[in-house]
Amino acid sequence: MKKLFLIFLILQTIIDSKPKKNWWKPTAKTTWQWQLANEIDLSYDVEMYDVDLEETPQETIDLLHEKGIKVICYFNGGAYEPYRKDSSQFYKASLGKVMEGWEDEKWLDIANYKRFAHIMKARLNLAVKKKCDGVEPDNMDGYTNKTGFKLKYRHQLRYNKWMAKEAHKRGLSIALKNDLNQIKDLVNDFDFAVNEQCFHYNECDLLLPFIKKNKAVFGVEYELKPDKFCKKANKMKLSWLKMDDNLDGGRYSCQDNY
């Protein structure tokens, strides 16, 4: 009996370690709303909301689910934020240079991500606890920035693949945020993409590998006027919005207006 029980435990461990396959996988042209500041405006008739993991009340997530809307939960996967509840758990050695434009945030040493892997796992566990359908880890392209660390392409690739695997283990969908130059190596690991200003920087074609696999590509423009990008976005099957960069709820949807 002991041997049978031991075999059962081993088999159960193998089963539990395998990624689940029934997580939500948004397809191209899925409609969405992105709001990371202020009280969430629940009035938009869309298929998905992207909201802050830590700050969004459970009641808000539950209300969105009651309306049949999927919920993606945002957290910072590549940079340190001092105001987060778990910020004291990071080792000082993992904190690099201040992020340009975000004076209270610092890049993380993702080449040695095992030093803070437990923090990211806890954030993913929180996403499960709050019943998020997926996650959007931000700043997953540190190797292209001045981080204070000698980060290489391979370091970023390894870290991003690890994050995707951990999300899938928990039955969570996961977005590839920006990181355009690694799409060819990551499109099979991530379920959809979230991008900022690809039309402004003339780099939207780099996102097409997701569309070719019928995976959603969500994005925003902060500076361009809608008539400069909306028709192109719709033709490319991209789910695009015009928003202020504080992401406080106001928006103009290309899908609704073009």
- What average pLDDT does range 117-140 have in this prediction? 98
Question: What are the structural domains of the chain?
Answer: 38-257 (3.20.20.70)
C-alpha span between 156 and 143 (Å, rounded)? 6
Closest by Cα among 90, 20, 14, 33 to 256: 33
- What average pLDDT does range 120-131 have in this prediction? 98
pTM beyond 0.75: yes
Q: Which pLDDT tens digit goes with each residue over 35-52?
A: 999 999 999 999 999 999
What mean pLDDT value characterizes the chain? Answer: 94
C-alpha span between 70 and 87 (Å, rounded)? 28
- What average pLDDT does range 97-117 have in this prediction? 96
Q: Which pLDDT tens digit goes with each residue over 167-220?
A: 999 999 999 999 999 999 999 999 999 999 999 999 999 999 999 999 999 999
Closest by Cα among 162, 151, 244, 164 to 197: 244
pLDDT level of residue 10 (50, 70, 90 thresholds): very low
